[in-house]
Amino acid sequence: MDRFFGLSANNTTARTEALAGVTTFLTMAYILVVNPSIMAAAGIDPGAAFVATCLAAAIGSALMGLLANYPIAMAPGMGLNAYFAFGVVGAMGVPWQVALGAVFLGGVLFFLVSVLRIREWLIGGIPLSLKLGIAAGIGAFLGLIGLKNLGLVVDHPATLVGMGRFTAPVLLGCAGLVLIAALSARRVPGAVLLGILLTAAAGIPLGLTEFKGIVAPPPSLAPTFLQLDLAGALQLGLLGIVFTFFLVDLLDNTGTLIATTHRAGLMRPDGTVPRLGRALLADSGGAMIGATLGTSTTVSYIESAAGIQQGGRTGLTALVVALCFLGALFLAPLAASVPAFATAPALVFVAALMAQALRGLDWEDETEYLPAILTMLAMPFTFSIATGIGLGFVAYAAIKALAGRAGEVHGAVWLLAALCVAKFALG
């Protein structure tokens, strides 16, 4: 174990890695409750979605630990799952089987980019400002869905959106959001998960939460296993969705790798990430495997930073996370007991965390911050992550060109902007 993971070389021990793995699992275990509820909104059997979430997280985390030897865990990504359920399936009317096919094909594109070694050109060509805008925009999209599920935001015929009524579930959800924020501020491990469970428990005496138990054999995966429709996803009108899953997956994973490897002291002095190819292969493999199991895109989790803070430095940490998710397979009744008003605060809290990306913008340069802000605003207000990304690339290239700074636009951005213009033109 010491030789395989390089424990001594990374100045760590098996015990430290195990503690780090458990810490990371606790900080991201909320996905076990949240993701099945989001997948259920797309018409997917919640029991099967729970099993798919556990297995996708376990397999993805194991791949990251064994292939790349990084202390980074994986699971279905927040934001992408909302785009899958509410944007693609809900708003566009795409069957969830076809949407899973699009997720798989996005993972295939990701895999090809990693294998063909054009990743540096593509990743390096996308400006930091657009990466930050996309991250914040996905957070805003997630926040809108969270507020809607909470009942705090409702549709309005005159103003598009308005405030909902403060019913008991809405008040409990608001209290849950405050509780999660307070626990997080106190650095309580698993603050989001603990906040969800306490909010759900508060609804039991009010008759708002139906307790269904804690431990039971895992539900059947049959309703979703290998149900993806690749032929449907290859239709011309859906290629934009495939591209969106691919691009967001690429940017999300790259950003997480950069942030976590820097925090762990694993980044090279020149700012490059060692074993980047292996890490991206693990990411793309996780996305494809997740789609075959029946869940949205699997990504690296920024919550891995909690385990790194605990001392995790090698893939053994990720392997421990994988084992924890396998053990969680037997907690399906507990996950099924959690109502929407208890999971909605988690969406809003994660949205707030993702908004921190805006701090990195250059607020003195309009050609940088304006496309990023446009990207962020377009995602929730058009209810489409794909539209926000497209408008961001087009705006960045156009503003730079008209400002006489076309030379600052990388070839990758010109290519992506042209593809987005064609997509908008074709509808």
Flag the least confident range among 7-21, 53-67, 225-239, 244-258.
244-258
Which candidate, 192, 194, 200, places its Cα nearest to that of 349? 192
| Mean pLDDT confidence for 225-230 | 90
Residue 168 has pLDDT above 60, yes or no: yes
The percent of residues in the chain predicted with pLDDT above 70, rounded, is 93
- 422 or 216, greater pLDDT: 216
Q: Residues 339-382: pLDDT tens digits?
A: 888 888 887 887 888 788 888 888 999 999 999 999 999 988 88
Name all contacts of 267-275 with Cβ < 8 Å and 24+ positions apart.
Answer: 275/68, 275/69, 275/70
Most confidently modeled range among 132-141, 257-266, 286-295: 286-295
- Going by DSSP bridges, is the β-strand pair 160-163/298-300 parallel, antiparallel, or unpaired? unpaired
Q: Residues 21-73: pLDDT tens digits?
A: 887 887 788 888 889 989 999 999 999 999 999 999 999 999 999 998 988 89
Distances (CA, A) of 305 to 58, 123, 204, 276: 18, 22, 34, 18
Domain extent, residue 204, equals 2-426
Q: Which helix (H) or strand (E) holds 317?
A: helix 315-327
pLDDT at 396: 94
Compute the distance between CA of residue 150 and CA of residue 174 in angstroms, rounded to an integer: 8
pLDDT at 427: 56
pLDDT at 274: 75
Q: How confident is the model at residue 225 (pLDDT cuts 50, 70, 90)?
A: very high
Compute the distance between CA of residue 308 and CA of residue 425 in angstroms, rounded to an integer: 45
Compute the distance between CA of residue 369 and CA of residue 11 in angstroms, rounded to an integer: 41
What is the number of H-type helices and E-type strands within the chain? 20, 4
Q: Residues 89-135: pLDDT tens digits?
A: 988 888 999 999 999 998 898 888 878 777 667 767 778 888 888 87
The total number of structural domains that make up the chain: 1
pTM for this prediction: 0.75
